[in-house]
Amino acid sequence: MIEQKIVDPDYLFFEAQRTSQYITGSEAVREAIKRANVDMAIAYPITPQSESMHLVGDIYAEGYVKEYLRGENEFAVMSSVAGASMAGVRVFTATGGPGTMRAFEVFPTWAGARLPVVCAFMTRGINSPLTIQPDTIEMAYLLETGILMLHAENAQDLHDMLLMAFMVAEKTDVHIPVGVFADGFFVTHTRDRVDTLPEDLKLPGYDPYTAPVPVMDMENVPVRQMRDPFVMKSNFMSYACHASWQQEIDAAAERSRKYLRQYLGSLIDVENEDSDILVITSGTAVSQSREAIITAREQGLDAGLVKIKTIRPFPGEEIRALASKAKKIIVPEFNRVGWLAKEIRNVIDEPRKVVGAPRVFGGMTMPPELILDEIRRIR
């Protein structure tokens, strides 16, 4: 293990000299976690995530992660992660697809307990018949769990978003979990150029004593025997308290916007924003859309691209402003239900502008020609 120096996150993210490596998305996870000053990582395998936590295990063996163990299953992993976080350590895990669904009960619990867990979700199909192939449908289910959701377009995004996620998650006024989503196989198992950070630098450690809830510390006052006592009784005040508690989780997500803008630069990236046709999407669908738009513009078609980086909090005001100028909006997605198109329709003034297509799922690829066809069809 290389001796690491703690540096200011802004220096690490924006000033430190980077080195270009040709690595997979799973290897990008390893490189990020190596510099993330993680106390504990808990693993359980599931395709296409397995390799990433395997590689985190490798850097545990080298001394970059203080503790690492395998859970009994995904529910156990996510519950153990919750316990570790309540105890005041920085914790990381990853899952995907059916693993996400198996652990599902725990995710809103993380948010409700104000746990700054960072979890990578390597998305894949979940329904029968069995598929291990790329699909973003699990994101639809996670939208209202209280977890902040960042969607990586590529391995570089995955690397950077993971590191930034710890810093956002642990802000006192935010302090809720962050999921960093990457499209399985397309990002996890393909090699790409990733600008990684110096190996001898790492993030500052987590200080649980600045948390908005007491850390579970039996040796120091103010001591707590349990983190979140039941507020549930059959009276109005109990209901009002529970409702206010849930509202406070929403408030925490709202407060994350300024930190996400600080670290990501913006919640969305826009290319050719004054175009008649805007293609708005997230994840690897952005890369496919970019290719389609290059061809479209070469052919004289006026199309622009909006890359959504944060699904929660959703960049509603930004999308609404852009949509007001566009004549049509195309939303390509790697899932059956079109959750992103629904999200966009919900925040714009003229939902009929949104064309929820092309849409592929079950592991199908999305050739740029499909998006190009859609641009031609609606222009």
Partner 1 sequence: MRDSTYKVAAGPEGYLPPAAAVMGVELPDPGQAIMEGECVDQDTAMKAIASKLVSAENPVFFPGPLILWDWKPGVAEKAAALKDLAEAVGAKMIPMPDYRPKYPMINPAIEVNPNHPNLTIVHNKIDVCLFIGVHCHYANIALKIIRGGTDCYTIAVCAEAGHEEAMISLRDAGICELQRLRELVIELKGGMSR
Closer residue to partner 1 (CB): 261 or 376: 261
Apex 363 CA angle, 312 and 308, nearest 5? 25
Cβ of residue 247: shortest distance to partner 1, in angstroms? 4
Which position among 254, 274, 350, 369 is part of the footprint of partner 1 (CB under 8 A)? 254
Does 349 contact partner 1 by CB under 8 A? Answer: no
Q: Are 28 and 159 in contact (CB under 8 A)?
A: yes
* Alpha-carbon gap, residue 278 to 248, rounded angstroms: 34
Q: Are 99 and 74 in contact (CB under 8 A)?
A: yes
* Total residue count of the chain as it appears in this document: 379
Which position among 195, 317, 350, 369 is part of the footprint of partner 1 (CB under 8 A)? 317
Q: How many chain residues are in contact with partner 1, going by CB under 8 A?
A: 34
216-245: which residues touch partner 1 (CB under 8 A)? 220-222, 229-231, 233, 237-238, 240-241, 243-245
Cβ of residue 242: shortest distance to partner 1, in angstroms? 9
155-181 per-residue burial string, b: 16 or more CB within 10 A, e: under 16: bbbbbbbbbbbbbbbbbeebbbbbbbb
Does 324 contact partner 1 by CB under 8 A? Answer: no
Whether residue 222 has a cis bond before it, omega within 30° of 0 = yes
Binding-site string for partner 1 from residue 170 to residue 189, where x marks contact by CB under 8 A and - marks none:
-xxx-x--------------
H-run or E-run covering 269: strand 268-271
* Alpha-carbon gap, residue 258 to 173, rounded angstroms: 11
Does 261 contact partner 1 by CB under 8 A? Answer: no
Closer residue to partner 1 (CB): 66 or 261: 261
Does 350 contact partner 1 by CB under 8 A? Answer: no
Closer residue to partner 1 (CB): 126 or 249: 249
Which position among 213, 364, 370, 378 is part of the footprint of partner 1 (CB under 8 A)? 213
Q: Are 30 and 59 in contact (CB under 8 A)?
A: yes
Residue 213's nearest CA partner among 146, 85, 113 is: 113
Does 144 contact partner 1 by CB under 8 A? Answer: no
| Structure tokens, 368 | 């740029």
* Alpha-carbon gap, residue 36 to 167, rounded angstroms: 10
Binding site for partner 1 (CB under 8 A): 114, 171-173, 175, 209-214, 220-222, 229-231, 233, 237-238, 240-241, 243-245, 247-248, 250-252, 254-255, 258, 317
